Copies of this chain bind each other. A is one copy, B any other.
Amino acid sequence: MFKNRCRQIHHGVFLEIHFCTSNKGKFSEAEKILNKYGVNIIHAPLTLEERRSESVEEIAEGCALRAYSILRKPLFVEDSGLFVPALNGFPGAYSAWVLGKIGNEGILRLLSGAKGRSAEFRCAIAFTEGKEVRLFTGSVRGRVSESIRGNGGFGYDPVFIPEGGEKTFAEAPSLKDSLSHRAGALQKFGEYLSTKVK
């Protein structure tokens, strides 16, 4: 099925897959990584209704099926969140919505006086060609910084410091590119796709 959709570009074989997201930052991240695996991604800026769930995997899976019912082409969607144990997993799978309401300032305020600042970014990529959905996940542990730092990245990047580091993802975007939750999931996804073009 895939072979039919391959395009010969220069001397490499490229797969074309739609990435359904309204977030340009996520699209750029995915493009950089998947191109290395010989995959050409096309931006499909669909706004998809997400189900209410605490799990990024469940949300991504549901969105992939809804997106396929519209596009009818091989596609993937991504869902990710910041999970803070001291806040019972908040903002979790509602991270984007929460960020739009209370911002990174709100997260810092909630953690003032909290027991511990550990946090985990989780990402789930859901890929489908229509029937089944294949999931690829990634995560990175770290902690919430004491202040908002850095201009790179987006979302919670200015308050997230990966384990063993001192800089936030927004202060070290190249570090983020290599070890973020999304990079981890995209690399697994890229490896899977690269087996399909051999």
Contact = CB atoms under 8 A, between A and B. Distances in A.
A92 B97 CA distance: 11
A102 interface: yes
A100 B49 CA distance: 23
A88 B100 contact: yes
Nearest to A89: B101
A173 to B, nearest CB: 27
A87 B101 contact: yes
Interface string A97-134: 11011100010011011000000000000000000000
A90 B109 contact: no
A89 B50 CA distance: 20
A114 to B, nearest CB: 9
Contact of A101 (B90, B101, B102, B113): B90
A24 interface: no
A51 interface: yes
A11 interface: no
Interface in A28-67: 49-52
A94 interface: yes
Contacts of A88: 100-102
Contacts of A94: 94, 97
Contact of A90 (B51, B87, B102, B113): B102
Nearest to A92: B101
Given A87-B106, A90-B106, A106-B110, 19 more contacts: A49-B51, A49-B52, A50-B52, A51-B52, A52-B97, A87-B102, A88-B100, A88-B101, A88-B102, A89-B101, A90-B98, A90-B102, A91-B101, A92-B101, A94-B94, A94-B97, A109-B110, A109-B112, A110-B110
